[in-house]
Amino acid sequence: MPAFRFPSSLRPLCVAASLLLVAASARAQPTTTAGPARPADALSPGFHKQRRELLRQALPPGSVAVLFAAPVRNRANDVDYLYHQNPDFYYLTGYEEPDAVLVLFQAPQTLSGQPGVTEALFVQPRDARREQWTGRRLGTEGARQQLQLQFAADNQAFAKAGIRWADFSNVLFLDLPTDVRDNPSDPADLYDLLATFRRQAAVPADFNPRQEALYQTMQQQGVTSADRTRQMLENRIRQRPSVAQDAYVQRYLKASTDAERQQALATRPALRFNATILDGALNELRAVKTPEELVLLRRAVRISAVGQQEVMKAAQTGLGERELQGIHEFVYRRYGAEFEGYPSIVGAGANGCILHYETNNKPQVGNDLVLMDCGAEYRGYSADVTRTIPPSGRFSPAQRQIYELVLAAQEAGFAVCRPGATFQAPDQAARNVVAEGLLKLGIIAKAEEARRYFPHGTSHYLGLDVHDRGGYGPLAAGNVITVEPGIYIPEGSPCDQKWWNIGVRIEDDLLITPTGYENLSGEAPRTVADVEALMARPSALDAFKLPQL
């Protein structure tokens, strides 16, 4: 952005004058090509169109689905965070700009006089003045041509499109954001689009998507897993006491037999508005990656694995956590990754025992193990790869024992990854190994104490979100999941002090294949021997010296 700023006393006058000049220039010059050039390996418009059609076919008869672009997030004062699209919205459209809404009709509709419309995208309009400051926009024509939308219009047309919301038996949407800023100078920003939808569709002011999701869970498991459902409800009530006042929940909790529970579940309030159907359909679609998606996901993972390799070669006891983070992220940028999939975690010693440590500000890592949980985001798809290394290049005996226990747990998790296995199978396999190993080392006295040192799950889906969508049912070919056991022994733990401040996590990204799995991140060394061997090799950064400041 421009570095120069006018003095505050002159800024309003100068800005006003500059805007007049820009507006005049915009009127005098032809409009530039719509939108920035899309990367050659970006998802194709055909991919997004197919995803929209598959989702539309999953909608209930007579329904409409509405999805909104992600909000712009403010960092401080007049500086916003770099915009990142809502992954669901990107998955269905490929559109990467804010202030937009997608509407999918289960049955064709007439929209603004155009018959047979099944999909409509409303986008921010072209604006030469704004584009000079913040970059080119696709606009309506760009959305039609580049994204191949059947119907596209400026977002200001959303309020006048003539969508007959009252005619639909179900109005489906995801949890609507409530913390969106209103830009008074923009009559169709996200704030206004949400307000238009709520008003025209008559969404009740007290509609609660979390309550709807709770009802859905009760119906899915309320009779076959009564004890589990009761425990879930009691946990929710502890978290939010108001749940106890819900009449539907009360009726279920008062039921004492399966017949009574079935009768209670049948009294679920009938609502036209639903925030769970769309959520479930997207979980099912996004959990199985297409070949086109896998090309991008493989690249994101390989970039991340190379990042781990380069840091292993460059690591030294005198480097800081942030310097190691910088090497990872330089590698990402060098290979064309646009973002990190999540804030990089680089924690040495005690910091490695903090599961989502993101500060990364220890000035020197010393001889402590360094846990590095980092992942590149490439064309929207995120990797998630963790390695734990000794900056000195050699594991101490205690560090090695914990590391090899985590590695054995990960191998056990790998072994059960195949189509048809439960999603929890890798977790259970890894936990069994960790519990047995901690008992042998004398760190715990009873197997159930292992959760103190292994407090998180072993797997999650991976894709457009680092914790991606999926139903967490049986594994299926095309799923991409992590397998990431860990052991974390913070200072003060009830065990021998030699184990204190050892934190180890090893995480790989697995594609479930028809016959088993493929480790997409296997290029990053995992065994003690391989890690130490790579750390003994020279780094391209060894000769990189900056001047003293």
Residue 84 lies in a domain: yes
Alpha-carbon dihedral sign for residues 454, 456, 460, 465: negative
Residue 25 lies in a domain: no
CA 259/CA 290 separation, integer angstroms: 43
Give the pLDDT confidence of 430-468 residue by residue, as tens digits. 999 999 999 999 999 999 999 999 999 999 999 999 999
CATH, residue 131 = 3.40.350.10
Over residues 457-481, mean pLDDT: 97
Residue 7 lies in a domain: no
Residue 75 lies in a domain: yes
pLDDT number for residue 32: 54
For 294, the enclosing helix (H) or strand (E) is helix 291-314
Residue 526 lies in a domain: yes
Residue 23 lies in a domain: no
The string of DSSP codes covering 337-356 is: --EESS--EEEEGGGGGSTT
Out of 27-31, 185-189, 301-305, the most confident range is: 301-305
The vertex-105 CA angle with 100 and 110, nearest 5°, equals 95
Task: Tell me the pLDDT band of 290, cut-offs 50, 70 and 90.
Answer: very high
Q: Do residues 314 and 406 both lie within one domain?
A: yes
Residue 23: φ, ψ to 5°: -60, -40
Task: Tell me the pLDDT band of 33, cut-offs 50, 70 and 90.
Answer: low
* Residue-wise burial string across 468-477, b where 16 or more C-beta atoms lie within 10 A, e elsewhere: bbbeeeebbb
CA 150/CA 172 separation, integer angstroms: 20
CA 210/CA 249 separation, integer angstroms: 13
- Among 167, 201, 235, where does a domain finish? 201
To which residue do tokens 């007579």 refer?
A: 62
Over residues 303-320, mean pLDDT: 98
Q: Do residues 329 and 416 both lie within one domain?
A: yes
Do residues 264 and 251 make contact, with C-beta atoms less than 8 angstroms apart? yes
Range of the domain at 169: 45-201
Q: How many domains does the chain have?
A: 3
Alpha-carbon dihedral sign for residues 215, 219, 220, 224: positive
pLDDT number for residue 34: 64
Give the pLDDT confidence of 382-434 residue by residue, as tens digits. 999 999 999 999 999 999 999 999 999 999 999 999 999 999 999 999 999 99
Q: What's the DSSP call for residue 98?
A: S
pLDDT number for residue 226: 86
The string of DSSP codes covering 518-542 is: EETTTTS--SHHHHHHHHTS--TTT
Q: Do residues 176 and 254 both lie within one domain?
A: no
Q: Do residues 303 and 246 both lie within one domain?
A: no
Angstrom distances, CA of residue 81 to CA of 76, 84, 133, 341, 357:
9, 9, 15, 15, 21
What distance separates the 2 farthest-apart alpha carbons in the chain? 80
User: What's the full length of the chain, in residues?
Assistant: 549
Q: Do residues 394 and 514 both lie within one domain?
A: yes
281 CB contacts (<8 Å, ≥6 apart)? Answer: 55, 58, 59
Q: Do residues 217 and 89 both lie within one domain?
A: no
pLDDT over 50 at 13, yes or no: no
Task: Tell me the pLDDT band of 228, cut-offs 50, 70 and 90.
Answer: confident
Q: Residue 72: which of 172, 175, 174, 193 has the closest Cα?
A: 193
CATH, residue 306 = 3.90.230.10
Q: Do residues 194 and 215 both lie within one domain?
A: no
Angstrom distances, CA of residue 265 to CA of 59, 119, 219, 262:
23, 35, 6, 5
pLDDT over 80 at 93, yes or no: yes
Residue 232 lies in a domain: yes
Task: Tell me the pLDDT band of 16, cut-offs 50, 70 and 90.
Answer: very low
Q: Do residues 437 and 295 both lie within one domain?
A: yes
The vertex-507 CA angle with 357 and 424, nearest 5°, equals 105
CA 440/CA 75 separation, integer angstroms: 49
Task: Tell me the pLDDT band of 271, cut-offs 50, 70 and 90.
Answer: confident
Over residues 489-510, mean pLDDT: 98
Q: Do residues 357 and 493 both lie within one domain?
A: yes
Task: Tell me the pLDDT band of 499, cut-offs 50, 70 and 90.
Answer: very high
Task: Tell me the pLDDT band of 210, cut-offs 50, 70 and 90.
Answer: confident
Over residues 216-235, mean pLDDT: 84
pLDDT over 90 at 10, yes or no: no
Angstrom distances, CA of residue 1 to CA of 329, 506, 542:
22, 39, 33
- Among 201, 228, 253, where does a domain finish? 201
Give the pLDDT confidence of 133-159 residue by residue, as tens digits. 999 999 999 999 999 999 999 999 999
CA 162/CA 200 separation, integer angstroms: 10
- The percentage of the chain sitting over the pLDDT mark of 90, rounded to a whole number, equals 79
Residue 277 lies in a domain: no
pLDDT over 80 at 515, yes or no: yes
Q: State the average pLDDT for the chain.
A: 91
Q: Do residues 180 and 227 both lie within one domain?
A: no
- Among 201, 227, 242, where does a domain finish? 201
pTM: 0.89
Do residues 468 and 499 make contact, with C-beta atoms less than 8 angstroms apart? no
In 3-state terms, what secondary structure has residue 331?
helix
In 3-state terms, what secondary structure has residue 216?
helix
Over residues 84-98, mean pLDDT: 97
pLDDT number for residue 487: 98
Q: Do residues 253 and 373 both lie within one domain?
A: no
Alpha helices by DSSP H, 29-127: 45-57, 87-93
Q: Do residues 175 and 237 both lie within one domain?
A: no
Task: Tell me the pLDDT band of 285, cut-offs 50, 70 and 90.
Answer: very high
Residue 180: φ, ψ to 5°: -105, 130
